C-alpha cells in the first residue's frame, strides 16, 4: 500500500461527490454487508442516502430493531477505497449475528493492506463509541482474507458454524474488564454505601478547594452533604440505578441514574477519586451509564455540573454532551450548569 495519507472519515456533505461514486458501485450484498443504495442516482444519494447515513449515526430515523450506526469511508489521500460501519452497541440480533463492525473494500484496492489498516483505524474510532468490552465481528468461512484482517487486528475466533466465524477483538478503551467473573463496574449493594459516600465526597474535594470550603462549612446540597442515609433512601426509591467502579478491588468511581418520564433520565454524582483520574475510568463510567440508559429505553441523559469547572464541562462536551443552560442559586457559591446527552 503506497498511499501517502490513509484515514477514515464519517459520511458528510462536503465529500458528497466521491461518496456517491463509491456507494453506487458497492454491491447490494457482499459477504453479509448490505448496500441498499447500489446504483443510486446522484440526486437520490444527496437527498436520501447521505442524509440517512448521517441520521443513523445520530440515532435518528432508525427502523424498528436497528441501533445507531456510524458510516466511515476509508480514504487514501483524496480517493475513497473502502467503507466501514460501526454499530454503536449490541442488540440481541447483533450479539448473535453481525456484531459491531462491517466493512467493504473496493475490488480494485484489495490485496494491498487496506482492509487491515482500515479496520485498525475503525477500531480506534469505535473505542469512543462502543460501550461493550469487546468488539463483535462476523465473517463468512468463504472469506479467509477478511478473517485474516480481523486476526491481524487482535481478533480471536470464539465460535464457528457451517457458514461463519465469530470473532472478538478486545476494546482497549475499556478499562473495566471482567475480574474473577465480576465486572469492575457493578450495581451498588447496601454494603457498598460507605464506599460510595467516600468516593462522592473525596471526588468533590478538588472543587471544594477551589471555592474555599470544607466539609464543615460547605453549603447544603453539595456532595459534602452526601450520607449513607441519603443513598439508602435513593436505593429504596423507584427508578434509581446506582453503580460502583472498582480497580483491583478498590472502590474508585460511582454514578447513579434516575429514570424519568418521556424516555429521559438524570445522571448524578459521576465521580472518580482524584488518585484514579486520567486512567479512563470516568469515560468508562459515562459509557456504562449511556449503555444502561439505552437498555432502559432512554434516549436522553440530563446532567448538572459546576459551570465554573471548565475542564469537566469540556470533558463532557468531548463525550457528546450539549450545554443547555445555567442557573444561580443563593445557597451555592458556584453556578449550576446543565447539559444533556442524546443517545
Q: How many CA atoms lie within 13 A of 9 on its CB side?
A: 17
**3-state secondary structure at position 84:** strand
pLDDT at residue 184, rounded to an integer: 81
Mean pLDDT confidence for 118-146: 92
DSSP secondary structure string, 222-287? Answer: SGGG--HHHHHHHHHSTTEEEEEEEETTEEEEEEEEEE-GGGEEEEEEEEE-GGG-SSSHHHHHHH
Q: What is the C-alpha separation between 62 and 56, in angstroms, rounded?
A: 6
DSSP 331: T
Q: How many CA atoms lie within 13 A of 135 on its CB side?
A: 31
pLDDT at residue 235, rounded to an integer: 84
Percent residues over pLDDT 70 in the chain:
92
Residue 123 or 217, more confident: 123
Sign (positive or negative) of CA dihedral 270, 276, 277, 280: negative
7-11, 275-279, 306-310: the lowest-pLDDT one: 275-279
pLDDT at residue 175, rounded to an integer: 47
Are 242 and 187 within 8 A, CB to CB? yes
DSSP secondary structure string, 183-217? Answer: ESEEE--GGGHHHHHHHHHHHHHHHHHHHT--TTT
Q: How many CA atoms lie within 13 A of 116 on its CB side?
A: 12
Q: Which domains does the chain have, with CATH numbers?
A: 6-170 (3.40.630.30), 178-342 (3.40.630.30)
Residue 177 or 221, more confident: 221
Residue 181, pLDDT above cutoff 60: no
Q: What is the C-alpha separation between 136 and 93, in angstroms, rounded?
A: 12
Q: How confident is the model at residue 297 (pLDDT cuts 50, 70, 90)?
A: very high
Are 300 and 341 within 8 A, CB to CB? yes
Q: Maximum distance among all alpha carbons in the chain?
A: 70
CA 205 to chain centre: 28
Q: What is the C-alpha separation between 105 and 39, in angstroms, rounded?
A: 17
Strands (E), 77-118: 79-87, 101-105
**pLDDT tens, residue by residue, 195-239:** 999 999 888 887 777 767 766 666 666 777 788 888 888 888 778
CA-to-CA dists, residue 84 to 87, 100, 232, 250, 329, angstroms: 10, 10, 46, 39, 48
**pLDDT tens, residue by residue, 212-224:** 776 666 666 677 7
b (16+ CB within 10 A) / e for 122-161: bbebbeebbbbbbbbbbbeeeeeebbebbbebebeeeeee
pLDDT at residue 220, rounded to an integer: 61
Q: What is the C-alpha separation between 207 and 68, in angstroms, rounded?
A: 36
Percent residues over pLDDT 90 in the chain:
56
Q: How confident is the model at residue 101 (pLDDT cuts 50, 70, 90)?
A: very high
**3-state secondary structure at position 330:** coil
Q: Is 303 exposed, middle or buried (0-12, 13-18, 19+ CB in 10 A)?
A: buried
**pLDDT tens, residue by residue, 240-259:** 999 999 987 789 999 999 99
Q: How confident is the model at residue 109 (pLDDT cuts 50, 70, 90)?
A: very high
pLDDT at residue 50, rounded to an integer: 97
Q: What is the C-alpha separation between 118 and 6, in angstroms, rounded?
A: 8
Q: How confident is the model at residue 104 (pLDDT cuts 50, 70, 90)?
A: very high
Residue 138, pLDDT above cutoff 90: yes
**Which residues are 167's β-sheet partners?**
137, 157
Mean pLDDT confidence for 161-184: 69
Residue 341, Ramachandran bin (φ over 0: left; ψ between -120 and 50: alpha; else beta): beta
Amino acid at each position: 500500500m503506497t498511499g501517502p495519507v490513509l484515514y477514515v472519515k464519517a459520511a458528510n456533505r462536503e465529500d458528497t461527490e466521491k461518496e456517491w461514486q463509491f456507494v453506487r458501485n458497492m454491491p447490494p450484498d457482499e459477504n453479509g454487508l448490505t448496500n441498499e443504495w447500489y446504483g443510486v442516482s446522484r440526486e437520490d444519494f444527496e437527498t436520501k442516502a447521505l442524509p440517512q447515513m448521517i441520521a443513523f449515526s445520530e440515532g435518528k430515523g432508525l427502523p424498528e430493531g436497528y441501533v445507531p450506526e456510524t458510516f466511515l469511508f476509508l480514504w487514501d489521500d483524496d480517493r475513497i477505497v473502502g467503507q466501514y460501519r460501526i454499530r454503536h452497541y449490541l442488540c440481541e440480533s447483533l450479539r448473535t449475528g453481525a456484531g459491531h463492525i462491517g466493512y467493504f473494500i473496493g475490488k480494485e484496492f484489495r490485496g494491498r493492506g487496506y482492509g487491515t489498516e482500515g479496520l485498525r483505524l475503525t477500531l480506534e474510532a469505535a473505542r469512543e463509541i462502543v460501550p461493550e468490552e469487546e468488539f463483535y465481528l462476523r465473517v463468512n468461512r468463504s472469506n479467509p482474507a477478511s478473517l485474516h484482517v480481523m486476526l491481524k487486528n487482535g481478533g480471536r475466533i470464539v465460535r464457528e458454524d457451517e457458514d461463519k466465524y465469530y470473532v472478538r477483538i478486545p476494546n482497549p478503551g475499556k478499562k473495566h474488564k471482567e475480574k474473577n467473573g465480576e465486572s469492575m463496574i457493578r450495581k451498588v449493594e447496601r454494603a457498598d454505601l460507605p464506599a460510595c459516600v467516600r468516593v462522592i465526597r473525596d471526588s468533590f474535594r478538588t472543587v471544594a478547594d477551589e471555592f474555599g470550603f470544607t466539609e464543615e462549612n460547605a453549603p447544603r446540597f453539595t456532595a459534602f452533604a452526601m450520607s449513607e442515609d441519603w443513598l439508602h433512601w435513593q436505593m429504596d426509591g423507584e427508578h434509581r440505578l446506582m453503580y460502583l467502579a472498582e480497580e483491583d478491588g478498590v472502590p474508585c468511581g460511582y454514578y447513579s441514574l434516575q429514570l424519568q418520564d418521556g424516555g429521559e433520565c438524570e445522571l448524578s454524582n459521576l465521580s472518580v477519586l482524584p488518585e484514579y483520574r486520567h486512567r479512563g475510568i470516568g469515560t468508562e463510567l459515562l459509557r456504562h451509564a449511556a449503555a444502561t440508559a439505552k437498555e432502559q429505553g432512554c434516549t436522553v441523559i440530563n446532567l448538572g455540573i459546576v459551570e465554573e469547572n471548565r475542564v469537566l464541562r469540556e470533558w463532557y462536551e468531548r463525550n457528546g454532551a450539549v450545554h443547555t443552560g445555567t442557573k444561580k442559586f443563593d445557597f451555592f457559591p458556584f453556578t449550576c450548569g446543565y447539559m444533556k446527552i442524546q443517545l
